Structures are given as structure tokens and as C-alpha cells.
Amino acid sequence: MIVAITGLRREARIVVGEGVRAVACGGRAGVLRRELNGALDHRVRGIISFGICAGLSPDVSPGACIIASEIVTPNERFPADGGWAIRMRKALPDAIQAPVAGVTSVLRNAAEKSALFDQTRALAADMESGVGAEIAQRHNLPFACLRCVADQAVSGLPDAAIVALRENGTIDLAEVVGSLIRRPGQIPALIRLARESRSAFAGLIRCRRLLGSSLAGPDFRPKAVPNHFPDVS
């Protein structure tokens, strides 16, 4: 079994399936540690971070798929499982393999993203991969990360999007509306974010379909090639 860690319930619904259990944490490291540690048992063969992310490099556009070569945190670098990454690249030839930054707080604007890019050279960032990579290393489990870019490097996040996420990964619409009432000037930025996020979720759905039930993970088995062919003469 593979455990997929996500921030959003919507991401979890995309990735969950036979042999894949999903954990959504609402971007909260403490929740993720609790839920992920609780999900690990003798059946788990690997952990994958799956979902949307923030673009750090100006060269990546909304919808771009990133396969992590390593996870860069403030204190450590965690290499992703090489074999798993290779198998995902074969299934997703358009994906970019590169470092991903594991962050502990939301990147609110282009300046914060640019500074993190300069510091880490990571192409993207999310709030789950750092925790997942650390726990995978502690339990000696293979770790992979597949993320699709939502908000690009030059984009900021409106407050309405930041306050909206509940602990279980669902969106609190009342918080969104309340934030927009207080600051209606956020509306254009929220519309832009929705447009960019649509591209990211479309990319996630495509990746999930192409990777198949095992997500190209440790239990991956190539399709059998028949050792004989029928006589068609």
C-alpha cells in the first residue's frame, strides 16, 4: 500500500484508490505528523506527496508537473527515491524532475517565492513534502513527490485563499466570503488563483490516470510480455 499525503481534500479524492490511502492535513504540519504516523503499518510500502504547489521559478507555468529529485527544507535535504522517480518520468515524459522546497508557512507573494528560489533553487514549494520526507526517512520507506503548479512565481495569494483551509483539507466558504466582504479588492486575485488552480488540478488528474493504480511506486509491476504469439498465418 502507498500512503499519499495532501493538503486538500480535493487532492486526496483524486489520488485515493485501490492500494493508495490518502491523508489530507489542511496545510498543518502537526495534523500531518499525527495522521501520517497513524497510517503507517506493515502494509505500507512507500509515501508520496501529491497535490498542487506554488511555483518558485519564473520558468514553470500553472499546470506544470514537477517530480521531486529531492526535498529541500530549512534544515536538511531529503533525496527522493530514485527508482520511483524514474518510473514516474517514464509514465509522465512531460514532467520536470527538480528539487521541491518543503515550507512551513504559506508563501504569500512573489518576493517570498523569489527569495526561496534563490536560496534553494527549488522549482516549486508545498507544505507537506518536508514532513513526509522526514517521516519516510525515519521509517526507512521510499518517498516520492508529484506536484502540479497552481500559483506561479509572479503571483501572490489573496488572504481569502489563505484563511479558507480547514484542518481536514476542505474549504471554509464562510471564511472566504467574510474575507472578501472585508477586503473586496482581493476578488481579481482570487479569480486569477481559481484559473491557475484549474490548470493544476487538470494536471493532477492526468498524472493520476497515467501513473495507474500503483502510482509507479514500490509495488509497480510492468505489464507482462507474452512469451509466445498466436499463429496468424
Question: Which residues in the chain belong to E strands, given as ranges?
Answer: 2-6, 20-24, 46-55, 65-72, 77-79, 96-102, 124-126, 143-149
Task: Say if CB 117 and CB 125 are below 8 A apart.
Answer: no
pLDDT range class, residue 220, cuts 50, 70, 90: low
Rounded to a whole number of angstroms, the CA Rg of the chain reads 18
- The pLDDT tens digits for 135-169 are 999 999 999 999 999 988 998 877 767 666 777 77
Please tell me the pTM assigned to this model. 0.88
* pLDDT at residue 97 in the model: 97
pLDDT range class, residue 82, cuts 50, 70, 90: very high
> How distant, in Å, are the alpha carbons of 14, 72, 143, 180, 195 from that of 217?
17, 21, 9, 42, 31
> How distant, in Å, are the alpha carbons of 62, 170, 186 from that of 13?
21, 11, 28
Q: Where are the domains of the chain?
A: 2-211
Phi, psi for residue 5 in degrees, rounded to 5: -105, 135
* pLDDT at residue 231 in the model: 42
Averaged over 18-24, what is the pLDDT?
92
Q: What is the CATH number of domain 2-211?
A: 3.40.50.1580
Q: Is the dihedral of CA 166, 170, 174, 177 positive or negative?
A: positive
